[in-house]
Amino acid sequence: MFDAGGKIFLVVVPIIGSGVSGAMHLFQFREKESLRESGRIEIEDILLNARGLLIGSRSEQAFREAFHAVRERYRALEFSQHKGDVALRGDEMLTPYLKDGQTRGRKPLKRKQGTSTP
Signed CA dihedral, 4, 7, 11, 16: sign only = positive
Q: What is the DSSP letter of 80?
A: H
How far apart (Å, rounded) are the C-alpha atoms in residues 31 and 37? 10
The pLDDT value recorded for residue 39 is: 94
Cα Rg, the chain, nearest whole Å? 24
How far apart (Å, rounded) are the C-alpha atoms in residues 49 and 24? 36
More confidently predicted of 108 and 40: 40
Q: What whole-number percentage of the chain has pLDDT above 90?
A: 40
The pLDDT value recorded for residue 2 is: 63
Q: Give the pLDDT confidence of 45-101 residue by residue, as tens digits.
A: 999 999 999 888 899 999 999 999 999 999 999 999 999 888 887 555 545 554 555
Whole-model pTM? Answer: 0.58
Signed CA dihedral, 19, 88, 38, 70: sign only = negative
